[in-house]
Chain A
Amino acid sequence: MTEKLVIIGNGMAPGRMLEHLLEKAPGRYQVTIFNAEPRVNYDRIMLSPVLSGEKAYEEIIIHGDGWYIANGITLYKGHKIVAIDRQAKTVTSDHGVTEPYDKLVIASGSVPFIIPVPGHDLPGVLTYRDLDDVQAMLLAAQSRAKAVVIGGGLLGLEAAAGLNAQGMDVTVLHVMPTLMERQLDPAAGYLLQRAVEQRGIKVITKANTQAITGNGKVEQVELTDGTVIPATLVVMAVGIRPNAALAKEAGIAVNRGIVVDAGMRSNDPDIYALGECAEVNGMVYGLVAPLYEMARVAASQLAGDEKAAFVHMDTPTKLKVTGIELFSLGDFAEGEDRQEIVLRDAAAGVYKRLVLKDDRIIGTVLYGETGDGAWFNDLKKKQTDISEMRDTLIFGQSYQGGAPLDPMAAVAALPDDAEICGCNGVCKGKITGAITAKGLTSLDDVRAHTKASASCGSCTGLVEKLMVLTLGDKYNPAAVQPMCGCTTLGHDEVRRLIKAKGLKTIPAVMQELEWTTSCGCAKCRPALNYYLVCDWPDDYADDYQSRFVNERVHANIQKDGTYSVVPRMWGGVTNAAELRAIADVVDKFEIPMVKVTGGQRIDMLGIRKEDLPAVWADLGHAGFVSGHAYAKGLRTVKTCVGSDWCRFGTQDSTGLGIRIEKFMWGSWTPAKVKMAVSGCPRNCAEATCKDVGVICVDSGYEIHFAGAAGLDIKGTEVLGLVRTEDEALEHIVALTQMYREQGRYLERIYKWAKRIGIEEIKRQIMDDGEKRKAYYERFVFSQKFAQVDPWSERVSGKDKHEFRPMASVGFAEAAE
């Protein structure tokens, strides 16, 4: 005879239990379900994608109506059980249906915690628990107005991301100092906050909500510190607690949740509980994996297997916000008996931390790159002794076993959707796919077809490894990278041959060095032009048609085809007359944007090309010359106010900066050169991240070089200390000339220095006085031809064709 099984609640846990039960003991029970929600069983985990619009409700249904019919299950939708009569063994719903049971399963889930602040019951305050909440939020989001999410945990952040995706202006309030503090340590919490904020969601931590106020509906949220945040929607996502009230009223043992044994049985042998409402061994659970385990155990018990028992398990946490990779597992509090391994890659936004105890993993936090989460979870679960692989453990699974520390294996192990090129958003699969499908064999080909490594280039190493993995021996990166597709020679070889063969024009270089194209390309022509300008300053006629447009028209092209103009302000010093002249020019030419640059200059943006000569003429009247902000050349020398004004200044840093700039302006270099002079080691001119920097000290001038603060960030190297300003200038000039003669086109000083070696540069500039003098003399010679203000030249008519149209046609016909 079939027994009557009644289930209170129709969430994911009882749904899974029924699947198991129908498999283990088909036909044993006649099943009746009471669901307080007026619908079937759906995947509650996927509510966030429904809220963000990535999925529809229909897509997250687990058991449709047909499933209940096919399995002979009676489902009461929208029926909330209000009483359990354990004596009569019946349950009664709020619609008055009374159903007898032989076995009862309580799966009443949890209720969201509501902070009892004034105004928590105003219309517009929602929780985030079920589909009704999501639909209410979606309705509210149509206003595109402001929303406040109280709670920076898993649910709160998913709600915030969803509302943000729906176009709302969202602020997250979190009472703790960092987000998701129960799952993440502060470092990962910080990275998470940054990522959330980058999506345009505001985050306020240590935020104590005092009241929600408004006239008849939510209008604002007030914090205890006095902050007031306007909002038309407030979502409380501060936590859940087991929904055990019904069981308690029926006299069933309840602690935090309904107390059950490892077989999911309550103190009434005919009543089971599972899911978020159940408490096993003092623990309650909220993530799906242990809840599904409860479902398996309960089904086995109901099918007659009394040995089935629930064992505690840690479950990894993952945030379901598209684009944020986050994994957290186990215990990661610090402790004396614990050790940790941490890996940080700030540029890539990666943070990984393993907490170890007795050579076993007890906790894992992964942020930014979570591919090894499953593996770490496995090691933890199996209590694997990791002492053998400890050194490489943090790098993940691909670093273990046969070939430790083989970076190739790590790349091979990356999933196809792993992002390789951050600039262009290119993933591994796209690159390997393009290599195979289009038969690409060179890095340039891969760049052209996929755009990977085509922007900042920091992923070039990864891309090359992918080429090796995909092509095997067919990929043979040339020992010397050719300058471009027009030649097989590298930059160094070309520079050497230009000197050795006395080649003094671009056609001569192309002819003698057997260029494969008739007149080069946009890569080799500017490089050759620079090499010739540098090596033959007196003989070579600069080839303007081989210069990039910025150097041809002495201004910076902007995305809309207009130009920006930066007049030179020696050492960053200006005066009233200059500022007035700039103001007049801005007014006269209706220049839309005026901006102070990082190099202590004033940038005027949005100037039409035709206006450039007139702009320069007006600036020239005030004494301005070109600031070369467009040049592969000396850009700026930043200074602080030095001993003239500053109470800490040790030398006249402003004076030295101006002197350097006046001496070196107009010189072309392989890539741009930015300098700075600071009057004391407090370094207000930020000289220690420049191509060349000077730190003044009491005893003289400490010369720095090879810093970077762009694609790469690198502090400078110290060249050496000199006693006088004259010596400082000589050393800086000699260093620059050495770089001019050896650098590859577009290679910044720090890259050149890395290639040549810091020691070698010090030896030639600091130790070898004769060499230094020779470099200095060659620079001075070349300046004779370089120090011509390009703006005044063009004001007097040079290259005037550049700035005007050749003709205007067709306007008569189109006259209005």
Chain B
Amino acid sequence: MTWIAIGSISDIPRRGARCVDTPEGKIAVFRTADDQVYAIDDHCPHKGGPLSQGIVHGVAVTCPLHNWVISLETGKALGADEGTVRTIPVKVDGERLFLALEALASRAA
């Protein structure tokens, strides 16, 4: 598995997100209140809202467009809504963050 460095955990505010631009679109990288890091496509399964702009609570984010709540762990919509967004493996090495590039490559294929 190829791990691509994307920066430091301190680049992301707690209960917040930053984006990583990739050829296949934006990936939202989240940091929870207890410093866990998750990466999912920055694209709500509902209407494509930018999930990175949502409010982060627990291990979930609420989409800013229509308030869908998406699990950061599974990428699944929580509650009554149904839909899934792709999750991307993240590795934390000390302060440094890496995303698994295979996921990008296999999706492009």
What is A's interface to B at a CB cutoff of 8 Å? 445, 448-449, 517-522, 525-526, 544-550, 552-553, 557, 559, 561, 801, 805-811, 813-814
Contact = CB atoms under 8 A, between A and B. Distances in A.
A806 B13 CA distance: 12
Contacts of A544: 13
B33 interface: yes
A518 B59 CA distance: 10
Interface in B67-105: 67, 69, 79-81, 99, 101, 104-105
B22 to A, nearest CB: 5
Contacts of A445: 80
B30 to A, nearest CB: 11
Given A449-B80, A545-B55, A807 B13 contact: no
Contact of B16 (A521, A545, A810, A813): A545
B58 A518 contact: yes
A559 B66 CA distance: 10
Contacts of B5: 807
A559 B29 CA distance: 21
A284 to B, nearest CB: 56
Contacts, number: 103
Interface in B1-36: 4-7, 11-16, 18-24, 26, 29, 33
B57 A520 contact: yes
7 interchain residue pairs of minimum CB distance: A522-B62, A806-B18, A448-B80, A814-B23, A549-B53, A545-B15, A808-B21
B31 to A, nearest CB: 10
A624 to B, nearest CB: 24
Given A545-B13, A545-B14, A545-B16, A559 B47 contact: yes
Nearest to A446: B80
A136 B104 CA distance: 56
B19 A806 contact: yes
Contacts of A546: 15, 55
Contact of B23 (A517, A526, A548, A810): A810
Interface string B48-62: 111001111110001
A23 B11 CA distance: 87
A224 B7 CA distance: 75
A522 B60 CA distance: 10
Contact of B11 (A448, A449, A806, A808): A806
Contacts of B105: 813
A552 B55 CA distance: 10
Contact of B65 (A519, A526, A559, A811): A559
B15 A805 contact: no
B7 to A, nearest CB: 5
B18 A526 contact: no
B72 to A, nearest CB: 13
A519 B35 CA distance: 13
B49 A519 contact: no
B104 to A, nearest CB: 5
B64 A521 contact: no
A549 B16 CA distance: 11
A807 B65 contact: no
A801 B11 contact: yes
Given A544-B13, A810-B22, 8 more contacts: A448-B81, A518-B58, A521-B69, A522-B54, A546-B55, A801-B12, A805-B18, A809-B4
Q: For A449, A522, A808, which residue has the most chain B Cβ atoms within 10 angstroms?
A: A522
A814 B64 CA distance: 30
Contacts of A521: 55, 57-58, 62, 69
Contacts of A550: 64
Contacts of B48: 561
Contact of A809 (B21, B58, B108): B21
A526 B55 contact: yes
B4 A806 contact: no
Given A449-B80, A545-B14, A809 B64 contact: no
A553 B80 CA distance: 29
B20 to A, nearest CB: 5
Interface residues of B, number: 43
A449 B80 CA distance: 5
A553 B79 CA distance: 28
16 contacts: A448-B79, A519-B33, A521-B69, A526-B55, A545-B56, A546-B15, A547-B55, A549-B55, A552-B53, A557-B64, A559-B47, A561-B53, A808-B22, A810-B4, A810-B24, A811-B23
Contacts of B50: 557, 561
A807 B49 contact: no
A557 B53 CA distance: 9
A807 B58 contact: no
B90 to A, nearest CB: 12
Contact of B6 (A519, A522, A809, A814): A809
Contact of A805 (B21, B47, B64): B21
A800 to B, nearest CB: 11
A806 B57 contact: no
A559 B44 CA distance: 12
Contact of A807 (B16, B20, B24, B33): B20
A809 B11 contact: no
Q: For B6, B67, B80, which residue has the most chain A Cβ atoms within 10 angstroms?
A: B80
A656 B81 CA distance: 49
Contacts of A552: 53
A549 B11 CA distance: 18
A809 B101 contact: yes
Nearest to A815: B23
B80 A810 contact: no
Nearest to A806: B18
Contacts of B22: 808-811
B19 A805 contact: yes
Nearest to A561: B50
Contacts of B65: 557, 559
A463 to B, nearest CB: 15
B53 to A, nearest CB: 4
B57 A522 contact: yes
B62 to A, nearest CB: 3
A549 B64 contact: yes
A811 to B, nearest CB: 6
B26 A805 contact: yes
A519 B31 CA distance: 13
B17 to A, nearest CB: 9
Contacts of A525: 55, 57
Nearest to A545: B15
A517 B19 contact: no
Contact of B20 (A809, A813, A814): A809
B3 to A, nearest CB: 11
A520 B5 CA distance: 31
Contacts of A517: 57-58
Contacts of B20: 805-809
A57 B32 CA distance: 62
B23 A806 contact: no
Contact of A519 (B26, B53, B57, B69): B57
A121 to B, nearest CB: 53
B15 to A, nearest CB: 4
A649 B70 CA distance: 55
Q: For A519, A546, A807, A811, which residue has the most chain B Cβ atoms within 10 angstroms?
A: A807
B18 A522 contact: no
A801 B108 CA distance: 28
A745 to B, nearest CB: 14
A338 to B, nearest CB: 51
Nearest to A438: B80
A126 to B, nearest CB: 43
A519 B80 contact: no
Contacts of B4: 809-810
